[in-house]
Amino acid sequence: MSNSIQTTSFDYNYHSAQKHGNNNYGEYVRHNIDIYNKIGGFDAVYQTSGSYDYNDYSCPSPELSLSKDGGTDRVLCIIDGLCQSDIDALQNDQEAMEELIEKINNNQIKTLADIQNYYDAINENLISAKAEFESIIDNLELSNDIDDYSECEETGLLTMKEKA
């Protein structure tokens, strides 16, 4: 990390592989893996399907993102919801800055510099989490090829086919 925010090592829970997609966009494998660690003492959980490709609910994104649906500390979710231009604008808007600090409501984050440091740490951690995600897929010898799986009719979950 280029700033002073400390992160812990990643850990993960592998849940399943699922088939997604449709006739318009094709089918693909989405690996349901929770990757988690701490950023400055706050819980960070990364998952796939945080958004939908093509604005289509049959196509949850296979891309990893910070989870807003539970597990990630509220403080990180608030800061992750910002973009760099939002943070830049706070330099000239003391009232908006104070409102954001009040919304964050945490003693670790009291200044614009604190917000910037956490924003940078969250984004740097996402890059590391994506590399960890790929490493997990490789280490578990999973595939992204839909043809390497059979689908359970009851659950819709995918199981790797036996290698010939």
pLDDT tens digits for 87-126? Answer: 999 999 999 999 999 999 998 999 999 999 999 999 999 9
Question: pLDDT tier at 19 (50, 70, 90 boundaries)?
Answer: confident
The confidence score (pLDDT) of residue 1 equals 38
Average of per-residue pLDDT values in the chain: 88
Question: pLDDT tier at 18 (50, 70, 90 boundaries)?
Answer: confident
pLDDT of 8 higher than 70: yes
What pTM value is reported for the model?
Answer: 0.85
- What distances in angstroms separate CA 60 from CA 22, 55, 90, 130, one per listed residue? 11, 9, 33, 17
Question: pLDDT tier at 131 (50, 70, 90 boundaries)?
Answer: very high
pLDDT of 64 higher than 90: no
DSSP-derived secondary structure for 65-101 = EE-SSSSS-HHHHHHHT--HHHHHHHTT-HHHHHHHH
